[in-house]
């Protein structure tokens, strides 16, 4: 276990961070390095981490914040303090780490020398509390087992491979994991997904505006990463960008612009959105998801191109205006840290 280290990041995650740290301390032996990178929290997160014997990095907030920059800062601290670490486990501060995951991911890296990254399934803590939480819970489970193209925020990476590609890209505000995955694979590494849960996430999404902002951020990420890796043979997110432009901007504009001259016949184009949602619902149900999960996911997929187009447009406006890329927030306020929460299961 001395060969592994952990990096977790957060900003005002409140009790969720405490739950994350407790889950780590509860399953790691003494001596395993845990680094927490804080991005300007005002809720006592840093104190909670230090009280648990975790090394804390206060990110310089005079520079624009991104999760990628926070992860790099944690990795750099880990390398400086523990250069012997071979595998780095990354977690978001709003996630509780499932018991046994770290050991399973470490064993998978040991058993698969060609693999540079190991991921699993993220699950949502309270999918029954809102439609939007349920959307996240389905999204976390999309993809296949075995060799895969990318990973999410919860991942174990070989330290040497991560250092060789220069770490995360600090300027990528979202989908930084997808972007890094491309470079790791281009360097000859493989990414594997294990068929087991890795973390329990707490999205705490309850409003349409939060879903809108998250979908907008996704569109921004599509645009940014496709500009970096859109060329062949990867063509990362190229199809997604085209689909977002078409169904998120061109079709809605055309339907409304030609409504008067076509005596509202052009509005028939808008029927595509509920029909698309129904198609996704049917497909998702066939994959074994429940009706409620299928409906939630179908509605999100059916209409997300519209806020996504706003995100794509924002990316290009920022780029043409030489504006610094800034993270698009969607989460609500957290409960302040009380330092009383105990390690718990799901």
Per-residue pLDDT of the chain (346 residues; tens, 9 = 90+): 679 999 999 999 989 999 999 999 989 988 899 999 999 889 899 999 999 999 999 998 888 889 999 999 999 999 999 999 999 999 999 999 999 999 999 999 999 999 999 999 999 999 999 999 999 999 999 989 999 999 999 999 999 999 999 999 999 999 999 999 999 999 999 999 999 999 999 999 999 999 999 999 999 999 999 999 999 889 999 999 999 999 999 999 999 999 999 999 999 999 999 999 999 999 999 999 999 999 999 999 999 999 999 999 999 999 999 988 888 888 765 556 654 444 444 3
Beta-ladder partners of 4: 87
Contact 121, 196 (CB under 8 A): yes
- Residue from 240, 242, 248 nearest 310 by CA: 248
Q: Is the dihedral of CA 195, 196, 201, 206 positive or negative?
A: positive
Rounded CA-CA distance 134/148 in Å is: 24
Exposure string of 301-331, with b = 16+ CB inside 10 Å and e = fewer, is bbbbbbbbbbbbbbbeebeeeeeebebbebb
Q: Measured between alpha carbons, how far is 197 from 171 in angstroms, rounded to an integer?
A: 29
**pLDDT at position 336:** 61
Neighbours of 226 (CB within 10 A): 22
> Where do the structural domains in the chain lie, given as residue ranges?
4-205, 213-320
Task: Residue count of the chain, please give it.
Answer: 346
What's the confidence (pLDDT) of residue 261? 95
- Name the CATH superfamily, with its identifier, for domain 4-205: Spore Coat Polysaccharide Biosynthesis Protein SpsA; Chain A (3.90.550.10)
What is the rounded distance in angstroms from the CA atom of residue 298 to the CA atom of residue 294? 6
d(CA 158, CA 4): 9
- Whether the Cβ atoms of residue 68 and residue 162 lie closer than 8 Å to each other: no
pLDDT at 332: 61
Q: What is the DSSP string of 198-236?
A: EEEE-----SHHHHHHHHHHHHHHHHHHHHHH-STTT-T
């Amino acid at each position: 276990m001395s060969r592994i280290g952990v990096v977790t990041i957060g900003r005002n995650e409140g009790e969720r961070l405490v739950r994350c740290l407790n889950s780590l301390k509860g399953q790691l032996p003494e001596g395993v390095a845990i680094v927490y990178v804080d991005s300007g929290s005002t809720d006592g997160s840093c104190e909670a981490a230090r009280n648990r014997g975790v090394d804390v990095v206060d990110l310089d907030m005079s520079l624009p914040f991104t999760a990628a920059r926070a992860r790099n800062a944690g990795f750099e601290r880990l390398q400086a303090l523990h250069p012997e670490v071979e595998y780095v486990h990354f977690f978001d501060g709003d996630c509780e780490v499932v018991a046994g995951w770290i050991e399973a991911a470490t064993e998978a890296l040991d058993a698969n020398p060609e693999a540079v990254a190991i991921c699993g399934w993220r699950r949502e803590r309270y999918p029954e509390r809102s439609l939007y939480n349920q959307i996240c819970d389905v999204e976390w489970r999309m993809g296949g087992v075995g060799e895969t193209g990318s990973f999410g925020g919860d991942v174990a990476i070989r330290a040497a491979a991560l250092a060789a590609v220069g770490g995360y890209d600090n300027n990528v505000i979202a989908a930084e994991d997808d972007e890094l995955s491309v470079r790791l694979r281009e360097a000859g590494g493989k990414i594997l997904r294990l068929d087991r849960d890795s973390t329990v996430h707490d999205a705490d999404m309850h409003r349409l505006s939060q879903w809108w902002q998250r979908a907008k951020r996704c569109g921004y990420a599509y645009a940014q990463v496709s500009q970096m890796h859109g060329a062949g043979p990867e063509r990362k997110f190229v199809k997604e960008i085209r689909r977002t432009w078409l169904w998120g901007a061109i079709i809605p504009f055309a339907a409304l612009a030609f409504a008067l001259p076509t005596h509202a016949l052009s509005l028939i184009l808008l029927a595509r959105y509920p029909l698309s949602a129904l198609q996704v619902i049917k497909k998702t149900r066939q994959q074994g998801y429940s009706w409620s999960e299928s409906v939630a996911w179908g509605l999100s997929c059916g209409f997300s191109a519209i806020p996504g187009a706003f995100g794509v447009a924002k990316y290009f406006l920022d780029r043409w205006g030489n504006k610094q890329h800034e993270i698009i927030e969607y989460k609500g306020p957290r409960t302040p840290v009380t330092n009383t929460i105990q390690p718990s299961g799901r």
